[in-house]
Amino acid sequence: MFSAAAESFLRQAREIHEEELRRFAGRVSALLQGPEPGAEAAEGLRRLHLTVAATKYPRRLDGRFVELLQTVLCSPKSPEQVQVLCAAILREMSPCNDLILRCDEIQDTKLLSLVSSVLLAQGNKKGEVAAVGQRVVKVLEGRLPEGQSALLLLPVLANVINLSPESLTEEQTDAVSRKLADWLRYASTQQGIVQPSGGFFSSPRTKQPAPVTEVDGAIATDFFTVLSVGQHYTQDQWLNVQAFSMLRNWLLFYGGQEGKAPNPDDKPGMDRSVTSMVSTTSTSSRLLPPKEHLREKAFEYCQRLIEQSTRRPLKKDDGDLQRACLIEAVTIMDIICKQDSSYVYRAVSFLKILHGRICGDATYARALLPIAQFFLNHSKLAAVDSDAIYKHLFTDIPAQLFHNPSLAFEFVQFCKDNSQLFTDTSSIFRHSFPNLFKFLAWNSPPLISEFVDLLPFLLDAGTAIEIFHLLLDLPCLTAALDIQLRAAALPTSEKATSDPAVKPATCLEAFRHPLYKSTFQHFLRTKSAPEDTPESLIPLRQLLGSLAGNPRVVQCAETVPVLLELFFRVMAESADGSLINQLVVLLLQRSDQLYEIPTFKDDVYRVLSSQLAMLCKLHPALVVELSTEILEFSGAVSNIQSKEPIFTHVVWAVGEYLSVSYDKRCTVEQITRFFETLEAVLFEITQLRPLASTPSCAPRAISVLMATLTKLAARSQDLIPRVSMFLSKMRTFVQSPAVTSVYCEEDLEEILIRATELMNLLKMPSVAQFVFNPPMDVASTRLQREVNDSLPLALRMVTHLLEPAPGCTPV
Amino acid sequence: MVWAFVLLSPGGQAGQAGQAPCRVLYARAFGTSPGTPLGGPRQRLRRKEQLLVVARQVASQCQLLQSSLGRLSSPQLPQLPDEPVSLQDAPGGLFQMPPGDPFPDRVTVVWLSVLALACALVCDPQENLSLAEITLRRLAPRLLISLRLLSPGAGVLLRPDAADALLDRLLPHGQMLFLNERFLQAVDRELGIKASR
C-alpha cells in the first residue's frame, strides 16, 4: 500500500528543483500544444500534479504555462482526460493570481462543471462563487444544447448555495424551485430503454419498457423516487435523484418565508391544515407560488419515501440506503413544518405511525433521533403527547445499542443539540444519564470531547453525588458492559443462574450469580438511582479487575481525570457548603475504592488531591465540620503509602484552615487533638530504627506534616515546646544509617532545611503567628494566596532575620 | 455540505521508532470555508494544513479503534491483488472537531479504514451522517481498484484523474447522492469498474 517506495517517490517530488520543474513544464507544454495531446501528455500532467501537490508552499509555475493549462481545459479539441488533469492542477494550485478562466460563455454542461470546480476553489475573493451561480442558473433556465442535461449542473448549484446562498436572486431561486418540484414529482415511472446491442444477426426487438419496481420487487404504483429500482435509468430519473439529494439544503436556504410568520390568531395546526388538505391536490398546487409548490411536492416525496423505506429490500445494501432516506425524509419534514406550520398536523399522525413500526427494530434505531427531534419541535403545536417516544429513546436505546459507534455519536449530538431538556429537574432526559454514560464508556476516544460539552448540563445539586460515583466507576461500567455483551452471546444452555454456594471463577459466571447480580444491575442501570446503591460494590469491582487490561477499559479510564476536573470546576461554581462537605467525605471514602488500574489510580489521586485543595479554599470551614472524618483519614499511616497525594493535601488543609480565623467554632481542644494525631503519625514514620513494617514515605509527606504541626503550634502556643523538640530530632533522623539507605541525599537535606526553618520560626512566636494566621484582609495579597509557595519564602525570610549574614542587622 | 474528502495513510503507531508519518495521499476540497484568509499562498497553506490536521486525527482515532477491537494496526493484505477485497467489516467512526480547530466552524468527520489506509469526509454537523457513511463505503472499494492501491508502487499518488472521475460520479462537487444499488451499478458501468461489495 503506502510503501517505503511510495514514500521515497513523494520525497523526490518535493525535492525537485525549480529549474528542473521549469524544464519539465516546458516539455509538457510542447506536448499539449502538439497536434493530439495523448497518453504522454497525460502522464506529464500527472507528474506535474504530484509535484505541485506535494509541498505546502506553492510551486512557481510559469505564468504562460498556467495560461496554457486554462486554454487546454476550455478547448473542445482536448481529450477529456487531459482536461480533467488540467483542472486538477489548477485546483491544486489555487488560489491562482493568473486565472483568466471565466464561465460566462460556456454552454457545454460538462465543461461548465469542470471549470466551475476550478473557480469555486479560488475562495470567492473576486466573487467567483456568485459568477458561477449566475452562469449555472442561466444555463438551467435556457434551452440546453442537444444531448446535454441539467444533471451535471445541479451539484454545482448545490455547492454554490452552500458557499454563498445570497448569490442567487429570488427570481432565480423561484425558477429553480419550480424545476426541482417537477423533477421530484414527475419523473418517468418506466425503466430506461437498453440500447440494442446491435450485431448483424440480431433482430431489433422493440422491447416495451418495464415499469420501475420498489426495492422489494413489487411494481411501483406511485411516483418515482430514489428508492425506485430499474435496470436502466432515464435522464429525468437521474435528475430526480440529484434533486432529492440537494433538497434539504435548498429548503433550508430558500424555503422559508421572510416576514410571513404563522398568524398567531389562527388555531394551531388543525384548522389551517384541514383546509390545506382539501385544497392542495396535485393539480391545484401548481397554482401555488414556487416556494409553496416545492414545499408540497417535497412533503409528498418524503411521505412516499417513508412508506418505501420499511419494505424488505431484495439487495441487502439497499437497506442502508432506505434508512438514510428515512432519516433525510423526516428531517426535511421537520424543516417544512418549521417553515409552514400547517403541515404539522399531517406530519404528526404519519410520524407516530412510523415510530410504532420501527421502534422495535434495532437496525432503524438511528432514525428514531430525527423523529424525536421532530416531536420536540412540533408536538406542542399539535397538542400531541410524545412522552412515550422520548421514554423509549432514552431508556431502551442506549442500553441495547451502546456498542454501535455511529448511533452513540449521533445520540450524544442529539443530547447536545437539546441540552436545555436536561436542565428541567423532573424530565425523563435528566434521569437517564446513567444510560448516556454507557455510550462514553464503550466508545471513549470519539466521545470524550462531546461529553466534556454535555456534562455541565447533567450536573446539579441533585445529581452531583451520583455522577461523582459514576465517573469514578466509569471503567467498571465498561467492563460490565463487556460482560453483558458476552453473556448475551452465550448459547441458552449456559445461561442458567449459577449455584449461589459456589464462588464464581470468572466475571462471566458472576453475571448470573445471585451475589453479584444486583451489583451488575446497579452498574448497568438505565435510570438515575441515588438511593439505590447496593451494599457494597467492592467485591464486584475487585472481580472486574481481571478486565483491567482490556483496551476499551483502559481507553475509558483515560477519560476519567478530564471529566473529574470538569466535574469539580462546575461544582466550584455552584455547590453550597453542605454539598462540598458531602463531596469531601466521599472523596476520602472512595480513595480506597477505585478500580485497580495503576495509572488510573495515580491520575485520579492527582486530580482528587488538587480538587480537594480547591474545595477547602472555597469552604474552609469544612475542616472543622468534618473533623471526625479528617482525623480518621490523616491518622492512618497506611494512607501515606497508598494515597500519598491525597494524604498530603489533607494534612496541608488542616494546617491552613484549622483556625479560628476560618471558623469561629474551632477550639483549642480540636487543635490539640489534630496535633496529637499528626504527631503520632510523624513519629511513626520518622523512627530512627525503622521496623520492617514501617513504610518508607514520600519526603513531601514528612515535610507537610512538620509544617502543619508547626502551624498548629503557632495557634496554640502550649504546643510549641513539643514541636520544637520534635524538629530538633530531625537532624538525628536524617543522619541515621537506616534512613540514609532509604531516602536520597537531596530529599534528606530538604527535610533538614525545612525542619530548621520551622524551628527558627517558632523561636519568634508572634512572627510565626502572623505568618501562619494573617488577618483575613491581608490574606488576599498575592503572596498569601499562593499558599503552597509562600511558606518556604516566609520561612527563608525569617531565617535570614534570625541568622543574619555578617554585616546585616535585623530590622 | 461536505467540505472535503481525504484519502490518507495513517502511518505507524505512536511510540514506535522509525514509523512513517501520517500522509495525505489525495484530497479534494469543495470550497473555502468563510473566515479563511483569502488570497495568495496563505489560503492554500491553510487548506493543506487543515486537511493534514484532519488526517492526523483520523489516524489517531483509527489506531485507537483498532486497538480497542483487539486488531493489529496493519491488517493483512490479500495474497493476490485480484482477490475481491471485502470492506464490509472495515472499522470506521465519527468525531467532531471544534470551531477554530482547524476549520472556522464546527465540523463532523466521518471516516473509514481501507486496509492500511483510511478515507474521510469532512461535513457540516447537520449533514446526513448515515449517507456519509454509505458514500465512504462505496468510494473505498472503488478507489482501491481505480488507484490500484493493492499493487505495489506509487499508483495512488499518480492517478488524480482516476480519483477525480470517481468523485465526480459519487460525490460530484461534494454532493452526496442517494443512489440505490441499481443506480450504483449504472455508475460502475459508466466507469468500467467491476467493484466488489
pLDDT of res. B119:
96
How does the average pLDDT of chain A come out, rounded? 86
Please identify among residues 331-360 of chain A the ones whose CB lies closer than 8 Å to any CB of chain B.
Answer: 331
Residue A670 shares a structural domain with residue A762: yes
The pLDDT value recorded for residue A321 is: 96
Domain edge (last residue) among A619, A648, A670: A619
Residue A371: pLDDT above 90?
yes
The predicted model gives A758-774 an average pLDDT of: 81
CB–CB of A358/A367 below 8 Å?
Answer: yes
Least-confidence region, from A136-145, A489-498, A612-621, A758-767 = A489-498
Sign of dihedral through CA atoms A412, A413, A415, A420? positive
**Predicted confidence band at B34 (pLDDT cuts at 50, 70, 90)?**
confident
Mutate to test the interface with A, among B25, B150, B177, B178 (most CBs of A within 10 A): B178
CB contact under 8 A, B25 and A227: no
Task: Record the cell numbers describing residue A227, joined without a space.
Answer: 428508492
A121 touches chain B (CB under 8 A): yes
Mean pLDDT of A705-728: 90
Whether residue A379 is found in the same domain as residue A408: no
A219 phi and psi, to 5 degrees? Answer: -65, 135
Is the CB of A405 inside 8 Å of chain B's CB atoms? yes
Rounded distance between C-alpha atoms, residue A497 and residue A641, angstroms: 41
Give me the count of residues in chain B. 197
The per-residue pLDDT for A202 is 59
Inside any domain, residue A576: yes
Q: Is A235 within the bounds of a domain?
A: yes
Give the pLDDT of residue A789.
Answer: 53
Structural domain includes residue A626: no
Give the percent of chain A with pLDDT over 70: 87
Using the Cβ of B116 and the Cβ atoms of chain A, whether some distance falls under 8 Å is answered with: yes
Q: What is the pLDDT of residues A622-648, one digit of tens each?
A: 999 999 999 999 999 888 888 999 999
Average pLDDT rounded to a whole number, residues A312-326: 93
> Is the CB of residue A380 less than 8 Å from the CB of residue A305?
no
| Of residues A468 and A510, more confidently modeled | A468
Residue A533 shares a structural domain with residue A679: no
Does A683 reach chain B within 8 Å, measured CB to CB?
A: no
Q: Are residues A335 and A437 in the same domain?
A: no
Q: Could you report the per-residue pLDDT of A423-467, keeping only the tens digit for each?
A: 876 678 889 999 999 999 999 999 999 999 999 999 989 899 999
Same domain for A677 and A793, yes or no, is yes
- Are A440 and A451 in contact by the 8 Å Cβ rule? The answer is yes
Does residue A311 lie within any of the structural domains?
Answer: yes
Pairing, β B92-97 against β B23-29: unpaired
Q: Determine, yes or no, domain membership for A2.
A: no
Q: Which three cell numbers stand for residue B23?
A: 500522509
Query: Do A652 and A578 share a structural domain?
Result: no
Nearest alpha carbon to residue A270 among A335, A344, A375, A333: A344
Q: Is the residue at A434 inside a domain?
A: yes
Whether the pLDDT of residue A650 is over 50: the answer is yes
> Does residue B53 belong to the interface with chain A, where contact is any CB pair within 8 Å?
no
Residue B169 and residue A732: Cα distance in Å, rounded?
Answer: 84
Per-residue pLDDT reduced to its tens digit, A480-518: 999 999 999 888 776 666 677 778 888 888 888 888 888
Quick check: is A263 in a domain?
no
B/e letters for A375-405, b = 16+ CB within 10 Å, e = fewer, are bbebbebbebebeebbeebbbbbbbebbbbb
- Residue finishing a domain among A322, A357, A384: A384
> Which of A40-54, A217-231, A683-697, B39-53 is least confident?
A683-697
Look up the pTM and report it. Answer: 0.90
Same domain, A327 and A431: no
Q: Do both A309 and A425 map to the same domain? A: no
What is the predicted pLDDT for the residue at A197?
60
pLDDT band per the 50, 70, 90 thresholds, residue B72 = low
Least confident of A170-184, A287-301, A421-435: A421-435
Is A264 an interface residue toward B (CB < 8 Å)? no
Beta bridge partners of B92: B112
Q: ipTM of this model?
A: 0.94
If one counts the domains in chain A, the total is: 3
| Residue A275 confidence (pLDDT) | 43
A249 contacts on B by Cβ (under 8 Å):
1
pLDDT at A420 over 70: yes
Long-range contacts of B78-81 (CB under 8 A, 24+ apart): B78/B150, B81/B150, B81/B151
Task: Answer yes or no: do B31 and A328 touch at CB < 8 A.
Answer: no
pLDDT at A284: 57
Taking CB atoms and an 8 Å limit, are A154 and B23 in contact across chains? no
Do residues A445 and A304 both lie within one domain? no
The 10s digit of each residue's pLDDT in A25-36 is 999 999 999 888
Q: Are residues A411 and A467 in the same domain?
A: yes
Tell which residue, A625, A701, A634, A705, has the closest CA to residue A657.
A625
Q: How much of chain B, in percent, has pLDDT values that exceed 70?
A: 86
Compute the half-sphere exposure of residue A592: CA atoms within 13 Å on the CB side of its CA. Answer: 12
- Mean pLDDT is highest, among A171-185, B61-75, B83-97, for A171-185
A611 and A663 share one domain: no
Residue B192 has pLDDT above 90, yes or no: no
Query: Which residues touch A249 (CB under 8 Å, ≥6 apart)?
Result: A158, A161, A162, B1
Q: Which chain A residues are closer than 8 Å to B158 by Cβ?
A: 46-47, 50
Which of B77, B130, B151, B166 should we substitute to test contact with A (largest number of A Cβ atoms within 10 Å)? B130
State which of A588, A619, A650 marks the end of a domain: A619
A10 contacts in chain B (CB < 8 Å): 23, 154, 157
Under DSSP, is residue A580 helix (H, G, I), strand (E, B) or coil? helix
Percent share of chain A, pLDDT over 90: 57
- Judged against a pLDDT cut of 60, whether residue A683 lies above it is answered with yes
What is residue A86's predicted lDDT score, i.e. its pLDDT?
Answer: 95
CB contact under 8 A, A409 and B48: no
Say if A708 falls within a structural domain. yes
pLDDT at A268: 43
- Provide, as residue numbers in chain B, all residues whose Cβ is less than 8 Å from the Cβ of A158: 1, 173-175
Residues B132-164: tens digit of each pLDDT: 999 999 999 999 888 887 777 777 788 899 999
Q: Identify residue B47 by its one-letter amino acid code.
A: R
Q: How far apart are CA A422 and CA A420, in angstroms?
A: 5
Q: How far apart are CA A370 and CA A336, in angstroms?
A: 14
CA pair distance A744, A5, nearest whole angstrom: 52
A668 and A526 within one domain: no
**B179 to A226: CB separation less than 8 angstroms, yes or no:** yes
Smallest CA–CA distance from B138 into chain A, residue: A317
Query: CATH 1.50.10.20: does it fit domain B2-191?
Result: no
Range of the structural domain that residue A428 is part of = 400-619
Identify the pLDDT of residue A271.
41
Cβ <8 Å between A6 and B197: no
Supply the Cα-derived Rg of chain A in whole angstroms.
38
